[in-house]
Structure formats: C-alpha cells, structure tokens
Structure 1
C-alpha cells in the first residue's frame, strides 16, 4: 500500500496560488516524457541540474513541436529551500512542464522516486539525480535503446561501468574494497544481468514503471537493487547504456556506513522474497 497524505497528492501552482491534484497512474499517459528528480536538501545543486535539463528539453521541443514533457521535482522532506527553488522553475516554465511534490517527511531516495513516478503523466519515465552528475542529453541514448526493444517496453539503465578503472584509481583502498564487496553481494543475491545497478539515471516504459514502483518495498539507497531484481524476476527487458558521468561534491551517501547499510538491505531483500514475506506474485498481478 502506498502511503500518501492529502498534501502529498497535490502540487502548488504559483500562477493561480492554488493546489491541484496530481493524476493517478490509472489515467492514460498524456506526455511523451516525465522526468522524476528526487531531491533532499538540494537547494545548491538543483539549479545546475534543472538549467541543463530544461535547456535540453526546451531545445528538443523547439526542434520537434509535438514533443511534450514534464519535470517532477520531489522534495524528500528537505530542511532547506529545495521546494522554493523548484517552485521558481514551475513559475517560469508553468506547472504543465515543472511540478513540485513536497513530501511531509523524509522517505529516502527510493520512496521519493516512487512518489514521483506514481504522480507522472509520461509514456516514458526518467529517473534523474538532482546533482546533475550525468549529462542530461544522454537521455536520447537511453531512449534509442528503449525504442529498439521488441515491444518498446522495458528499462534502459544508465551505466558508469566503463568508468570503473578510472574510479578505482582515484578512490582509496577501503572504498574500493567495500565497493567490490557490494557488487559481489548484488550479483550473488539479486541482480545478475546489470553491472551498475546504482546509477541514478534510468528510463522506464510507463507500464514497467507503474508495475515496479507500485510493488517496491525498499525506500532507501538499495531500492535500485530491489527494482532490478523484480524486473529480472518478471522477465522485463533490461539494457545497460554507457553514460557520461562526473562525480559532484555534496553526496548524501556517508562513506562506509551507507555501503554497510546497503549491504544489509540487499541481504534482507533476498531473504524476504525467499521466505515469501514479500511476494513476486504481487508484482506479477500488477504486471
């Protein structure tokens, strides 16, 4: 069951100074692309990402007038001015193109993405981090791979695997060791077909997004692993696409502690599905 308060079902329209309801995922898609941006205390980094994304999306709309999009910024219970910053873009671009979903309390990145996806209108849904670490124009590469799938339904997953050697050279021994252990746990217990499960740049067909996020349990950092585990179990088509990525200062991940917590979550994901506490059948019914 998705927990959503009445306030979390609405977005503020700065032009009318009124609150309006987000649509339900049961309503047919009315946009080409929805971009969901989970944001927690991102008042400093969010503008850089939004400027790049909107420049690309507006340029694409100018080139192809029939192209429609929306950006949903999900403020995950921030203690700063993240919502205010996001609303300034809604005022400039209108709420048809930029909407702000403000969560009353922090849910975690997975919970924030889920709430944004289930409030979206797009035929395709892109998850994009607020730090702008991935070049936004790479969405076109993900779209091309998604369109090439037999029934145009599946997930195109941005990947930094091709940058692994460079990253290893820059990190200290402890971080490299923990990262390798984490990758081994993911491969052994949950996801076999994707090398980089944690890149925050993933493109979903609408049907896949609704199926997976409606049945997702994990709301913190390891949510990507459960998401892709479910996708593999359901036979959803997955393609990994190399993207341009730059490490940005200000990460919310706490070194070592966050990796340990994620490792614990991965063990619990597999254990709970094995014991039937969480059921694949629930996702199959949704599918």
Structure 2
C-alpha cells in the first residue's frame, strides 16, 4: 500500500510541470490564425492609372493557370535577378502555350529598403494584370507573407518561391509533373496535392562544408521536424506547388507566421492525408540570407516543438475556416 501511495504522489508531482507548461502554451497562443490585414494591405497599385484595386480572394474560382507568390523582405538587390529568370521562363511558356496565363504576386514583408519600389518597376513594365505588389505595413514573417499572397491569388495552381533566386525556376516543370501524377484528367474537380521542391539529395555534400556545431544543430532541427512531419525530408525548401483546392484548405488555417510555417503547413497536410510529392530540384547558395544560423534554427526548433504540443493539447485545430475580412 505504501508503494502505491508513493507512486501516486510521484505521478502527481510529475504532472505539475507538464500542467504548467500546457497552461503556458494556452496563455501564450491565439487559437485562431492571424488573417487580419489593413485596408492598404487588401489592395494593389496599378502604376498605369495610379489607382489602387482590391485583391481577389482565394475563395473565388481560378481565372489563371498559375500564381507565383514571392515573399520578400529587404530584397531590393536579389529580387531583380530572381524576377528576370522567372519572367524569362514564364513569358516563353506563354508564347508557346496560348492557354497558359500567369500572375506574380510579390509580398513585401514590411521592408525598410526599396523592395516595393523595385517590384513596382516590374509592374510598370508588365502591367498590374500580370504582376501585383502587396506591401505590409510592418513585418509579420515569411509565413504571414506567403499566406496573404496565396489568399490574394487567382491561379489554378499556386507556387511559392523565394525572392533570392536560389531555386532554378524552370524546375517548376518537375513539380507540375509530380502534381499531374496525382491529379486525374478525367475528373472535373481537381484533386488535392502538393509538390515540394527538395534539396535532400544535396545533403551529403553540404555537410562537408559545415562546422561540427552547425551540423549538430542541423541534425537536431531535423529530429524535431520528425515530431510533426514524417514523409518529407526537406520541409524548408522555399519552392512548393499547390493545387488551388489544397491552398483553400491549408492557408487559412495554419498559425505560425515565421520560418517554421512550412512544418506546420506540411503537418496539417499529412493529418488530412493530402498527397505530398517530394521532388529533387537544382538549388544553389545565394549571399544575403535573412536566416541567422544559430538563432534562427533555435527559434524554428522552439516553434516546431510548440506546433506539436499545441495540436496535441487541442489548443490549435486545423478545421476548415472561411476567409475573414478583419
């Protein structure tokens, strides 16, 4: 009997820190994703008329073949290189296929440099029907920038791509082929599917160039990712393609708005049994990364742990949500 009493009190005492941690998660977390945006953030500028127009909604039916979402923070120097490569590919494809129509949405995540001005030069050249700029009043993180770009898109398929030009844009062909393998052309309604660009095939070579400490942190980060995502080796590559039905389901419901948003996005997709195809792409390092190696990895690791625990405790949910105008 004495042993059972000791066991009871041991379990009770052990549950106290767990309960306090759960309470901390509850008190420091909003149950609802942040879908709010200011009136200025709901509109885009047409330089030809000097007028601002309302962005469309992701809830609308698709009116274009492809939307390209480019989150950008202090990218006045790297953005032009990425845009030239992207536009060269898209314009060539448009000439070869008259049924192909695209748009690029550049989301300036509260930059303090001339990112918006540089982006508007492309709007002035190609027109606001093809390129639109969404400028945040203040920085809210890459996940927030990608979300708002997606919620304003018109494409049947939606691609997120980093502004640094690290990914070879023509590898979009590989991602589209992966989605084609999931989608059935005989069905009227498109299937849900995601194609994820991956650098996992480059991992062995990149480890050689890293210090032991950075390699240790990277391995630890990958172990944490496994708490949420099991079927994707490279969750952080900024080159992902979504069918519109997937975008409508996922982008209104995730909570994390900074670097670890990809992990939550893919976690929800796996929980909903949405097919995810991981595709090896060409990628190269580009100077000027906004990720601080140690600090950013620790921040992402913390966020990933919180993602798993907040869903485990029922603090967050990924139930369907209608887009709200707050």
TM-score bracket for this pair, using the shorter chain length:
over 0.9
Please say if residues 214 and 293 of structure 2, whose CA atoms lie closer than 8 Å, have aligned partners that are also in contact.
Answer: yes
Tell me the equivalent position of 1:218.
256
Aligned counterpart in structure 2 of residue 135 of structure 1, from 168, 174, 179 = 168
Normalising by structure 2, report the TM-score. Answer: 0.85
Aligned counterpart in structure 1 of residue 223 of structure 2, from 174, 184, 203 = 184
Shift of 1:211: 1.0
Equivalents in 2 of 1:202, 1:25: separation in Å?
17
Runs of 4 or more above 2 Å deviation: 150-153
Aligned counterpart in structure 2 of residue 267 of structure 1, from 305, 321, 325 = 305
Shift of 1:172: 1.2
CA RMSD of aligned residues (A): 1.0
Aligned counterpart in structure 2 of residue 253 of structure 1, from 275, 282, 291 = 291
Tell me the equivalent position of 1:173.
212
Aligned counterpart in structure 1 of residue 83 of structure 2, from 41, 45, 50 = 50
Tell me the equivalent position of 1:40.
73
SS of 2:66's partner is strand
Query: 1:231-250 to 2 correspondence within 5 Å?
Result: 231-250=269-288
Shift of 1:153: 2.5
SS of 2:139's partner is coil
SS of 1:256's partner is helix
Tell me the equivalent position of 1:207.
245
Query: 1:60-79 to 2 correspondence within 5 Å?
Result: 60-79=93-112
Equivalents in 1 of 2:95, 2:48: separation in Å?
24
Q: Which runs of 5+ in 1 are unaligned?
A: none
Equivalents in 2 of 1:170, 1:277: separation in Å?
40
Normalising by structure 1, report the TM-score. Answer: 0.97
Equivalents in 2 of 1:258, 1:57: separation in Å?
33
Query: 1:96-135 to 2 correspondence within 5 Å?
Result: 96-135=129-168
Shift of 1:150: 4.2
SS of 2:257's partner is coil
Q: How far does the alpha carbon of each residue in 1:165-215 deviate from its partner, in whole angstroms, 9 at most, with x for none?
A: 11101111111111111001111x100000000000000001101211100
Larger Rg: 2
Q: How far does the alpha carbon of each residue in 1:58-112 deviate from its partner, in whole angstroms, 9 at most, with x for none?
A: 0000111210000000000000000000000001010111000001110100000
Q: Which runs of 5+ in 2 are unaligned?
A: 1-33, 185-190
